[in-house]
């Protein structure tokens, strides 16, 4: 059962018709902070995320309970007129409508923004696509991986002597979803002044591009093209992974002058911080490989726990490369409740990342895991559309819901 909603968005109703990650993660972020998110799914199989995921347990997706948390599920066949009519009625009483269909899909269904505004002028329509709603590539099919490539992230990710690598999570989709949630909240804020909604148009490749720091002026002004550099930040030293005596690797970031001085003192070589080869930021960048070798020779003399204790005590930023096992055992994660656990009806205690960021007065909350397909048909269609049991029965018989 879904707990009572609270949080800064508890007065906001969201209709989410997206699938997979880019649209649904936007809905998750809004739901985390109290929005009533009603997820509209195909009555056949629902969102493919119900079956997707790198690992399943007892046939159950471990991705679905996370990305659909705090949401309510209803079913409607949006490819037929009656399903489209149901969606119009839902949108008529909503604040935000999130979708990540290919551009033109809503228009074919008679659900263009102009048509939706006629029934709800205050509606904020969030549209997440690979390439945006206009431009020569708008009609192309777009997935997160393509956006990561086109936005520049894949080119600079991985080892220099190997093909481009992925980050390890669907970062393109998640970045687009995060910007979309931000856009939705900004559009709602603007609506308080204007009384009208607007379209939030998020292209995955542009969301990735927004994270690419100074890549563009480096190329256009300085003629420098960033390349893959593995674990190293080029000309930013020391900032790398370093080996320890027990076979672990730790990350040390000591590229700032004052921090590098503390590291050199800890290593017993304070003269490195003032010498010509490493005494300035630029000098350390020029001699990065040699400096990394010096630090690695020092870290190899200690087990990871011992050298990390020394680094923390000296005020040098450092840490392990965490796995999920490390996270669940870490006292800092526990103290800040970075991991929250809810009971799954079939899988038992279910851990997942908590809500970010933390608000002091109106915090977000994980209230429920991802719902069963159509679990809230009776509640939502009864409460919002006035549908009785006979109407629900007819819709089911006609494969509308």
Active site residues: 173
DSSP alpha helices (H): ranges in 57-143?
A: 64-67, 81-92, 105-108, 113-119
Q: How far apart are CA 146 and CA 161, in angstroms?
A: 21
Q: Which of 21, 22, 399 is nearest to 200 (CA)?
A: 22
Residue 75 host element (H or E):
strand 71-75
- Name the phi and psi angles at 116, rounded to 5: -70, -35
Beta-carbon contacts of residue 122 (< 8 Å; ≥ 6 apart): 95, 191, 195, 196, 197
Q: Please, where are the H alpha helices in 223-303?
A: 257-267, 281-286, 288-299
Q: How far apart are CA 283 and CA 279, in angstroms?
A: 7
Q: Which residues pair with 37 in a beta bridge?
A: 14, 71
Closest CA to 33 of 14, 2, 10: 10
Packing angle of the helix pair 171-194, 22-32 (nearest 10 deg): 50
Q: Which helix (H) or strand (E) holds 339?
A: strand 339-344
CA 203 to chain centre: 14
The rounded distance, in Å, linking the Cα atoms of 308 and 39 is 45
Proportion of the chain in helix, strand, coil states, percent, rounded to 5: 40, 15, 45
Instruction: Find how far residue 232's CA is from the centre of its chain.
Output: 24
Cα 313 from chain centroid (whole Å): 33
Pick from 31, 70, 32, 3: which is nearest to 357 by CA? 32
Task: Tell me the residue ranges of DSSP E strands in 347-396.
Answer: 348-353
Tokens of 360: 């002091």
SS3 readout for 170-191: CHHHHHHHHHHHHHHHHHHHHH
């Amino acid at each position: 059962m879904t707990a009572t909603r609270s949080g800064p968005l508890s007065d906001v109703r969201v209709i989410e018709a997206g699938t997979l990650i880019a649209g649904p993660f936007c809905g998750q972020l809004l739901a985390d902070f109290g929005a009533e998110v009603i997820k509209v799914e195909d009555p056949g199989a629902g969102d493919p995320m119900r079956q997707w995921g790198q690992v399943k347990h007892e046939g159950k997706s471990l991705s679905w309970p996370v990305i659909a948390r705090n949401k309510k599920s209803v079913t409607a066949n949006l490819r037929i007129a009656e399903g489209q009519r149901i969606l119009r009625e839902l949108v008529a009483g909503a604040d935000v409508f999130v979708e990540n269909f290919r551009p033109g899909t809503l228009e074919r269904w008679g659900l263009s923004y102009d048509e939706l505004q006629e029934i709800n002028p205050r509606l904020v329509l969030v549209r997440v696509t690979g390439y945006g709603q206009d431009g020569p590539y708008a009609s192309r099919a777009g997935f997160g991986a393509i956006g990561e490539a086109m936005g520049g992230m894949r080119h600079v990710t991985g080892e220099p002597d190997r093909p481009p690598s992925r980050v390890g999570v669907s970062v393109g989709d998640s970045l687009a979803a995060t910007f979309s949630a931000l856009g939705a909240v900004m559009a709602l804020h603007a609506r308080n002044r204007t009384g009208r909604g607007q379209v939030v148009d998020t292209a995955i490749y542009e969301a990735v591009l927004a994270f690419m720091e100074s890549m563009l002026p480096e190329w256009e002004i300085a003629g420098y093209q960033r390349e893959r550099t593995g674990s190293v930040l080029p000309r930013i030293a020391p900032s790398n992974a370093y080996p320890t005596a027990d076979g672990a690797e730790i990350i040390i970031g000591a590229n700032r002058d004052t921090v590098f001085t503390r590291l050199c003192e800890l290593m017993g070589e304070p003269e490195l911080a003032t010498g010509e080869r490493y005494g300035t930021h630029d000098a350390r960048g020029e001699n990065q490989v040699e400096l990394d070798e010096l630090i690695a020779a020092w870290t190899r003399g200690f087990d990871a726990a011992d050298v990390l204790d020394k680094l923390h005590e000296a005020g040098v930023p450092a840490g392990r490369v965490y796995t999920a096992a490390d996270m669940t055992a870490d006292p800092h994660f526990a103290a800040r409740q970075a991991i929250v656990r809810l009971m799954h009806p079939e899988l038992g205690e279910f851990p997942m990342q908590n809500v970010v960021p933390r608000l002091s007065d109106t915090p977000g909350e994980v209230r429920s895991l991802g719902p069963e397909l159509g679990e809230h048909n009776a509640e939502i269609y009864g409460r919002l559309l006035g549908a009785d049991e006979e109407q629900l029965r007819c819709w089911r018989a006609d494969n509308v819901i």
